[in-house]
């Protein structure tokens, strides 16, 4: 590898870029320098793209060392495992199951964690080990516990950590259970997303502790929640930015297939047809999906028939009672909707989106989350202003 490649696409270049973004602060800079990302990235990887879920073709270090190096020191996520390790052949698998997170996300979440000397931290999701190593450098090995459910991932991460001379307590186990033997913790950070904060995490903290975790509804859209534990054991706090993490294995969505609702080849399958002026393309941003999903918690979506200027958006409910489709074509101002079942899912989506629009199109930082005896309550601007949940509406009828 050339010296030019090493210098331009390396730790210094990435650090400079992260500092310009305001992501990498001076308190985490020593850890960044002492814990090079490349020590925690395997030789076969699938580089992602910032702000997108798709993955590019795999990069193999022995075949293209310069590309591998550039990939590692790009501010983007890197998939390191597919399909819980069941996919072992060339190319990518179906579902990513382990990654080295985007550096911007790593240091944004560490900033939100707001650790201080002497804090004890539980990390849920060891992954490649990079985040655990950064915490060890900042707080000392004895103050970091990291839990990983996948035995092979855990073993590989432990080997990388030891090779880099970091020795946190590395546990193989279900992250939803935390690790009670070393509780209480001052901080808990999850490198996987959840739709429900596990009660055991709260039970392994004391008042004043902070939990930082990516959270999102079934429909989609996700953000990092920074939650503080109150004297009453209630969690509350704001979302600090969008995120896109793999789900905690215990909470994977496992959504029913479209075939449980209809044979797509027979669409419109007797469904009720109508028109809408709300474009399916205007409800597809991450924040739109978050706002819709919070208000209609049992609805999920898929996309099919994707072409250069058109696609079909599908809506389903987890109860398998209803479906809807909305056809988008670029340049159109009216869009065909077809629905079937007990519920009017498109009307529920429209109501949720319009509520968000009427509130001034809030971004994630105006939303917050409280977890108490009522469950999980998402609010806007203040805990006293909970986001409404729309009751299922009756199926649309032909006029």
pLDDT, tens digit (0-9, with 9 covering 90-100), for 106-150: 999 999 999 999 999 999 999 999 999 999 999 999 999 999 999
Contacts of 7 (CB under 8 A, 6+ apart): 13
State the pLDDT confidence band at 9, using cuts at 50, 70 and 90.
confident
Contact between residue 48 and residue 79 where contact means Cβ atoms under 8 Å apart: yes
- Token pair 């839990």 is found at 147
- What's the average model confidence in pLDDT over 179-193? 98
Backbone dihedral angles phi then psi of residue 188, each to the nearest 5 degrees: -130, 135
pLDDT, tens digit (0-9, with 9 covering 90-100), for 58-102: 999 999 999 999 999 999 999 999 999 998 777 788 899 999 999
Give CA 56 to chain center in angstroms: 19
Contact between residue 207 and residue 230 where contact means Cβ atoms under 8 Å apart: yes
Judge whether residue 398 has pLDDT over 50: no
Identify the pLDDT of residue 56.
61
Active site residue 101: yes
State the pLDDT confidence band at 390, using cuts at 50, 70 and 90.
confident
Domain 3-242 has CATH 3.40.50.150: yes
**131: preceding bond cis by omega (within 30 degrees):** no
Contacts of 197 (CB under 8 A, 6+ apart): 211, 213, 215, 227, 235, 371, 376
- Token pair 């390790």 is found at 85
pLDDT, tens digit (0-9, with 9 covering 90-100), for 221-271: 999 999 999 999 999 999 999 999 999 999 999 999 999 999 999 999 999
Q: Which fold has domain 258-358?
A: Double Stranded RNA Binding Domain (3.30.160)
Q: Domain-by-domain residue ranges, the chain?
A: 3-242, 258-358
Backbone dihedral angles phi then psi of residue 90, each to the nearest 5 degrees: -70, 160
- What's the average model confidence in pLDDT over 173-196? 98
CA distance 137 to 115: 12
10 Å CB burial of residue 367 (0-12, 13-18, 19+) is buried
List the one residue out of 250, 393, 376 whose CA is nearest residue 315.
393
pLDDT, tens digit (0-9, with 9 covering 90-100), for 12-43: 999 999 999 999 999 999 999 999 999 999 99
Contact between residue 353 and residue 284 where contact means Cβ atoms under 8 Å apart: no
* Partners of residue 325 on adjacent β-strands: 314, 338
Q: Which of 101, 108, 193, 340 is catalytic?
A: 101
- What's the average model confidence in pLDDT over 159-173? 98
CA distance 307 to 226: 39
List the one residue out of 80, 187, 208 whose CA is nearest residue 124.
187
pTM across the whole model: 0.94
Judge whether residue 373 has pLDDT over 50: yes
Contact between residue 348 and residue 291 where contact means Cβ atoms under 8 Å apart: no
The tokens of 272 are what? 């009720």
Kind and range of the H or E element at 14? helix 11-20
Helix axes 11-20, 103-113, angle to 10 degrees: 60
DSSP state of 20: H
Contact between residue 363 and residue 302 where contact means Cβ atoms under 8 Å apart: no
State the pLDDT confidence band at 399, using cuts at 50, 70 and 90.
very low
Total number of residues shown for the chain = 399
């Amino acid at each position: 590898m050339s010296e030019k490649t090493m210098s331009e696409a390396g730790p210094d270049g990435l650090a400079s870029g992260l500092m310009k973004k305001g992501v990498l602060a001076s308190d985490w800079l020593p850890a960044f320098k002492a814990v090079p990302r490349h020590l925690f990235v395997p030789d076969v990887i699938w580089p992602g793209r910032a702000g997108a879920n798709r993955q590019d073709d795999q990069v193999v270090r022995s075949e293209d060392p310069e590309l591998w190096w550039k990939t590692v020191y790009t501010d983007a996520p890197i998939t390191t495992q597919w399909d819980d390790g069941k996919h072992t052949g060339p190319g990518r698998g179906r579902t990513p199951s382990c990654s080295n997170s985007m550096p911007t996300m790593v240091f944004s979440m560490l900033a939100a964690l707001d650790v201080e000397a002497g804090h004890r931290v539980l990390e849920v999701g060891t992954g490649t080990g990079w985040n655990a190593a950064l915490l060890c450098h900042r707080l000392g090995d004895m103050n970091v516990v990291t839990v990983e459910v996948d035995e092979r991932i855990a073993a590989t991460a432990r080997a990388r950590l030891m090779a880099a001379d970091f020795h946190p307590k590395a546990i193989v186990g279900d992250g939803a259970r935390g690790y009670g033997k070393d509780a209480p913790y001052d901080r808990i950070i999850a490198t996987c997303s959840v739709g429900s904060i596990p009660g055991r995490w709260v039970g392994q903290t004391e008042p004043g502790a902070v939990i930082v975790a990516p959270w999102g509804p079934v429909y989609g859209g996700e953000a990092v929640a920074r939650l503080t534990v109150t004297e009453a054991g209630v969690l509350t706090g704001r979302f600090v930015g969008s995120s896109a993490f793999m789900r905690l294995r215990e909470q994977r969505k496992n959504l029913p297939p479209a075939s449980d609702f209809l044979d797509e080849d027979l669409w419109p399958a007797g469904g009720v047809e109508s028109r809408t002026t709300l474009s399916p393309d205007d409800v597809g941003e991450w924040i739109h999906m978050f706002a819709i999903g919070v208000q209609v918690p049992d609805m999920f979506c898929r996309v099919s028939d994707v072409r250069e200027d058109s696609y079909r958006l599908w809506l389903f409910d987890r109860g398998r009672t209803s479906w809807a489709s909305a056809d988008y074509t670029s340049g159109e101002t009216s869009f065909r909707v077809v629905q079937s079942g007990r519920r009017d899912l498109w009307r529920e989506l429209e109501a949720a989106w319009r509520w968000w629009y009427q509130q001034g199109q809030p971004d994630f930082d105006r939303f917050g989350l409280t977890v108490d005896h009522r469950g999980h309550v998402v609010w806007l601007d203040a805990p006293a202003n909970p986001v409404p949940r729309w009751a299922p509406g009756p199926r649309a009828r032909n006029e």
